[in-house]
Chain A
Amino acid sequence: MFLKPILAMHIPDGFLSAPVAIVGWLVTAVLVGLALREVRDRLGDRQIPLMGVLAAFVFAAQMINFPVAGGTSGHLIGGTLVAVLLGPWAAVLVMTTVVAVQALLFQDGGLLALGFNVFNMGILAVFVGYAVYVWARRALGAQPQAMLIAAALGAWVSVELAAMATALELAISGTSPLDVALPAMAGIHALIGIGEALITVGALAFVRQTRPDLLGAPSAGVARQSALIAAGLVIALAIAFASPLADSDPDGLERVAEDKAFIDKAEDPVYEVLPDYTVPGIDDEALTTIIAGVIGVLIVAGIGFAVPRLVRLNAPEKVRQQQ
């Protein structure tokens, strides 16, 4: 009865190389950790049963399908819908739970691959979907159907981008050539994304009719925050896409130094986290450059998050001292 559609988005184990899978776990651990803190700060203890039951809701909602053609059927992935209903941070936790349980209990996606599976469907899809939703809703302004059109756009873009990220991760692992995987994944999911958009709109329209009190306007702070994170994630992906194509010419100063033969005089720093932007112990040059790039972006993003947070933490103390 339960014929699982081949969800090309749940990567099984074996299809990601070990270093790529570990990068996925690191990125996901950082972002889910942030989500845990945000949710704890902003929301009360009643959020736990709400998010837990809604994770089960996403699981059950994926059973509600509609016939498309030729025996295939469309169904929901859910990231954007939950983000619109609960806000992006809680949605990250809900979707993380869904993807983790699918892997742990139903072998739907691997355990080593769980890092990137959570990242694609639970973090990237949620933040990008939500950011597009907020942006489109503002751009459409007073249009009466603004919310639904914006949600449709967000849902479609989130599925499409998650699929492209999946293709990229498979390509970096050497599992699937990018020039085949990317158009294939992007093409199939352009259609799947339409199904996602239609169901998301149908669900939101129903909720707006029956319980409009559950649908507030996105708050400015969360909207800005999620736009920043979505932009950061997209830039990181774009860098990863571009880096193997980048040529191997040394950059300006190094080139001059080589030409003028004073490069020998350059001293290595006392310690290097990522010598020559590569990760030690991995041979493939393109792979290591990409991983180094991702780690670099993560460190920068981490600092970007930590600094304002520390400032905010210190602020009340200063006020108190002044008084």
Chain B
Amino acid sequence: MYRSFERYQPGQSPLHRADPRVKVVVTFALIGGIALTPTHAWPAYPALWTLVAGLAALARFSAWRMARLGAVALPFMLAALPLLITVPGPAWTLGGGIAISQAGLARFVAILLKSWLSVQVALLLTMTTSFADLVWALGSLRVPGTLVALIAFMVRYSTTLGEEAERLLRARAARSAHAEGRPAGGTLFWRARVAGGMVGNLFLRSYERSERVYAAMLARGYAGEMRRLTPPPLSWRAALAGAVPLLWLGIVELAAMLWWQ
């Protein structure tokens, strides 16, 4: 069975019920604020983490679970690893002629912390907001309607086409017998060519499905515009609730830039 990839965890916590528009704006603001933190402002990182952990608690997720999930982007740290030896300045010498630059290490650790915190913030949005709410929030935040419609279509059909792809993969696996000690399959080029053919096949099925979808939409009165309910006005309470994490972020960033550097 094909699994849905959606990370949404249904729930009734205050964070689940918060206005999705406010959640989207606060998420972007927090990630932007985290990016602005100066490298050497070390007290800022635990302070920002308390904010993440507080929001997680509000969503009834354990901080430990968020901390673990936040590590998904860490393999990318490979890209920042050379900083340890290339940044000029005072360095600690290790055995074998390797010197770890102090400034490089500081920058490397700061990048990892920022990445880890940002991923947790993004996850909090995804885990507490259903996809329909997220699309609705993007639309009311003036993301162009065409893009919002495409995003909605993509998510709606990624499960369907994902299952289609699984069927193709299963069919290939069923015809790929191999026995111990005997060479099986063709060359790398041949294998790639087969995968390409399957992608082409999947394209045709998707194309034909889109024609059926369009016909069905026409049948229901589609005239080039997606119809949506008018969004309810943003309540003062929802906006104020969003201001609290932003205020905390502002205080942390101010302190980081003025005193903690």
Contact = CB atoms under 8 A, between A and B. Distances in A.
Given A14-B73, A177-B82, A64 B207 contact: no
Interface stretch (A66-74, A242-250, A287-295, A311-319): A66-74
A97 B150 CA distance: 6
B63 interface: no
B190 to A, nearest CB: 9
Contact of B153 (A1, A11, A15, A55): A55
B192 A107 contact: no
Contacts of B207: 50, 53-54, 211, 214
Contacts of B199: 61, 64, 76, 81, 199, 202-203, 206
A176 B164 CA distance: 40
Contact of A65 (B146, B153, B189, B195): B195
Contacts of B201: 206
Contact of B197 (A21, A177, A205): A205
B169 A63 contact: yes
B31 A63 contact: no
Contacts of A107: 7, 72-73, 119, 122-123, 126
A68 B185 CA distance: 12
Contacts of A54: 203, 206-207, 210
Interface string B150-162: 1111111110111
A112 interface: yes
B165 to A, nearest CB: 4
A105 B155 contact: yes
B162 A61 contact: no
Interface in A200-248: 200-207, 210-211, 214
Interface residues of A, number: 82
A176 B84 CA distance: 10
Nearest to A54: B206
A52 interface: yes
A102 to B, nearest CB: 10
A48 B146 contact: yes
Contact of A202 (B31, B80, B200): B200
Given A112-B28, A202-B196, A21 B149 contact: no
B255 interface: no
A180 B82 contact: yes
Interface in B182-213: 188-189, 191-204, 206-207, 209-211, 213
Contacts of A49: 153, 210, 213-214, 217
Contacts of B146: 36, 39-40, 48, 93
Interface string B80-93: 10110010000000
B164 A60 contact: yes
Contacts of B82: 176-177, 180-181
B66 to A, nearest CB: 12
A51 B5 contact: no
B156 to A, nearest CB: 8
Interface stretch (B15-23, B54-62, B106-114): B106-114
Contact of B79 (A81, A181, A206): A181
Most B-side CB within 10 Å, residue of A44, A63, A100, A211: A63
Nearest to A202: B196
Contacts of B209: 53
A13 B122 contact: yes
A59 B31 contact: no
B96 interface: no
A83 interface: no
B154 A98 contact: yes
B189 A198 contact: yes
Contact of B195 (A40, A59, A202): A202
B112 A36 contact: no
Contact of B161 (A59, A76, A81, A101): A59
B87 to A, nearest CB: 8
B128 to A, nearest CB: 13
Contacts of A64: 165, 168-169, 195, 198-199, 202
Contacts of A106: 5, 7
21 contacts: A6-B75, A13-B118, A18-B32, A33-B144, A45-B223, A48-B146, A48-B224, A53-B161, A55-B154, A56-B156, A56-B157, A74-B195, A93-B146, A96-B147, A98-B154, A101-B155, A105-B6, A202-B192, A202-B200, A206-B197, A206-B200
Return the 3 tightest CB-CB contacts between A and B, nearest first.
A202-B196, A52-B153, A14-B115
Interface of B: 3, 5-7, 27-28, 31-32, 34-36, 72-73, 75-76, 78-80, 82-83, 86, 107, 111-119, 122-123, 126, 131, 134, 144, 146-147, 149-158, 160-162, 164-166, 168-169, 188-189, 191-204, 206-207, 209-211, 213-214, 217, 222-224
